[in-house]
Every structure is written in structure tokens, then in C-alpha cells.
Structure 1
Amino acid sequence: MQPSHLIASKPILTLLCALTLVACSSAGIEHYQDKQPQMVPEEFFLGPLTAHGVLKDRTGTVTRRFNADLQGSWDDGVGLLAERFVFDDGEIQFRNWQLIPTTSDTPGVRTYIGRAEDVVGDAEVQVSGNAMFIRYVLEVPYKGDTIEVNVDDRMYLVSDRVLINESRLTKFGIPVGEIVLTIIRGPGPLGASVSEAK
């Protein structure tokens, strides 16, 4: 007969093991290959868009809210996404993303290089099915200086006009924050501009 405290701990141990396996087996971009609608950056990031989201700290508490106006264009296959963010405290930030197509070694996966002013080096961009993953190192203002934070963007197209993005922010492998945002393509009732949303 086992001691009662050991019996009681078995379900907890099983749960912890299961959670560890789930955390280590996050679905790769290939998992979304057959998901619809298909994400085509050259089509979605074209013309005016808006973004609306929140920034959370490592405890999951929302610390900032923001709205953004975006403008996408493509020239000779290279994309440019000009972004203007307005935060709830009045701060305004700008970022210009460049997307450069590259040759993919994985069937069903399209790849790009991503570049922006506050991104260190090149971002790794993968697209498959309705998903678009971007991994990069971002320079973030911190106490009068900047620090480098690893960002893992996971975007999912849920309709031809709406893209959901979850971003995990880590430093030395430790979670430091999260960004959740919705990007809406084109003008219309779904997409209030920054000035309308303030």
C-alpha cells in the first residue's frame, strides 16, 4: 500500500509532465499548411490596414493599449509595411517593415527575410496555410537605454480581412511579456483608424 501523500501527488505529477510535453511540442508552421483562408502576405499587407492590441507583462497583466495605422505596398516582389502606433499614454511609435522573399527548403512553406529599424539583424519569416510566424530580436527602450528582447510572432488569418497575432517576448529564455493584437485590412466598419479609436 502506498502512502496517501504519494497517491495524491500522482495526478499532479502526471499533469506537470503533460504540460511540459505540450510546452515542448508547440506546432510548427507546417501544421497549418491546409488551413484556410490561405495567408498571402502580398495580398493581405497591401493598402491601408489598422491594428489594435494590448501589451502584457510577465504576469499577464495588461500594461499598455495601442491602436495603429498601417500602409502596405510591394515593389518588385519586396514588401514595405509602414506602421504608426499610438499608445494609451499618448506615445507615438513608427516602424517600417521590409519583407524580402527567399527560397524555402520546406515544401508548402514560403519564407521571407524581415527587416525594420529597431530589429537586430534579419527576422526569420515563415508562411504556410493561414499562418505566418516571425522570429526576431527587438531593441526595446528601457530606463533611458535599450535592451534586446527575443520576439516570437504567431499570426493567424481568420478571414480575408482579419489577422490575429500573438507575440511572446523573452530575455535569456525567460518570458518577459506578451503582445496580443488584431490587424484589420482595408477601410470599413471593422477597422477604426487610430484617430477614431483614441
Structure 2
Amino acid sequence: MHVLFEAKKAVSENSTIYPPLKLEEFFSGTTLARGIFEDRFGRVRNEFHGRTVGETRNSSLFLTEEFTYRDGKTDRRNWTFYKLSERDYKATCSAVIGEAAGQTDGHRFHWSYEFKLEVGTKIWTVRFDDQMFLMDEKRLLNRARAYRWGFHIGTVFLCFEKQD
């Protein structure tokens, strides 16, 4: 019983330790990012760095991501996030199939989406189960698990640092 009490206490204490995540606030302006892709066997398969530039208008966040990978390949995506309620968001991007949907819970944002991912000369349909954690006003950690045909194929680990 003591362990259960301690676990509940730790969860409730986290809500006061970390600031609440509001995507439209954190991603307004410029962030720098650095990350890796780890395959399902735990091997780092790629490294990347980049930046995002975001602008909030009305209840929408317009976010441009630019990434450069270890092999020199570059990628650019334009996202539009729509705030549906205090906690609920949906997002679109040309590589997303349909819409991405997510919800904040304190300092955490959880969302999922199907994505057209370029792998070599092919395009794979991959489902991402994506979690973001706001660590403080300037840093956000991101873990995105990737699935193909229902099988876990790897995980993206990414750290964003706000510049403005």
C-alpha cells in the first residue's frame, strides 16, 4: 500500500515540477533540434540536426521543420496545428496521411499519425506514436515510436531547444 501511495504522489508532484506544455507557445519562434533514429534492435541508424520556425495565427500554429541527416540528406516539412480545445490538437502536413491527432496532459503531448516516409528510393507508410515532454521553458524531449504493418521498426529520439 505504501508503494501505491508513493507512485500516486510522484505522478501528482510532476504536474507542479514541469511547466504545462502549450505547443503554440513553445514552437512559436525558432527552435534548434538534434536527434537519432534507433532501429528495433537498439542500433543507431541515423543522426540528424535541424531547426523549426513557428508562427501562431488565430488558433493555429504554422511550423516549418528543416533537418539535415548524417549522410547529408535534407528534409523540409510544413505542419499546421489546429487547437481544438484547451488540450486537443489536430495537425496536417503533406507527408501525413489524413490528420494527426493529439492531446496535452500537463507537460506532455501525445499524438499519433500515419506518415509517408522516404526510405532509400521507396516510400513507406509508417505509423508514429509520438510523445513530447516539456522539461523547462526552453527544452522539449521527443520520443516517437515507428511502426510498419503493426511491427515496431524503431524509435526517434529528439531534443528541441527554444532560441527566442
TM-score range (shorter-chain normalised) is 0.7 to 0.9
Q: Cα 1:101–1:140, aligned 2, differ >3 Å: closer, same or farther? A: same
Residue equivalent to 1:150 = 127
**Stretches of 4+ aligned residues off by more than 3 angstroms:** 30-33
Does residue 70 of the first structure (1) align with residue 44 of the second (2)?
Answer: no
After superposition, the C-alpha distances for 1:111-153 in whole angstroms (9 at most, x for unaligned) are 0111111111000111120001120001112352211001011
1:50 paired residue number: 32
Note the 1:69-88 alignment, pairs <5 A: 69-88=51-70
Counterpart of 2:108?
131
Structure 2 stretches lacking a partner, 5+ long: 1-10
> Structure 1 residues 31, 62: CA separation in 2 closer, same or farther (over 3 Å shift)?
farther
**Structure 1 or 2: more strand by fraction:** 2
Q: TM-score, normalised by structure 1?
A: 0.73
Instruction: Please show how residues 91-170 of structure 1 align to structure 2 within 5 Å.
Output: 91-103=73-85, 110-170=87-147
Larger helix fraction of residues:
1
Residues 130, 140 of structure 1: alpha-carbon distance in 2 compared, 3 angstrom cutoff: same
- Once the two structures are TM-superposed, the CA of residue 31 in structure 1 deviates from its matched residue by 8.3
Q: Structure 1 residues 31 and 121, CA, compared in 2 at 3 Å: closer, same or farther?
A: farther
Residues in 2 aligned to 1:101 and 1:67: alpha-carbon distance in whole angstroms: 27
Q: Distance in 2 between matches of 1:130 and 1:122?
A: 23
> Cα RMSD between the aligned structures?
1.9
Any idea what the Cα deviations from partners look like across 1:40-65, whole Å, max 9, x if unmatched? Answer: 11210110111100011121100110
Alignment size in residue pairs: 153
Q: Secondary structure at the match of 1:60?
A: coil
1-structure distance, mates of 2:93, 2:40: 25
1:131–1:171 distance in 2 versus 1, CA, 3 Å: same
TM-score w.r.t. length of structure 2: 0.87
Deviation at 1:172, TM superposition (A): 2.2
Q: Which amino acid aligns with 1:128?
A: D
> Does the residue aligned with 1:115 lie in a helix, a strand or coil?
strand
Unaligned runs of 5+ in 1: 1-29, 104-108, 188-198
- Secondary structure of 1:37's counterpart equals coil
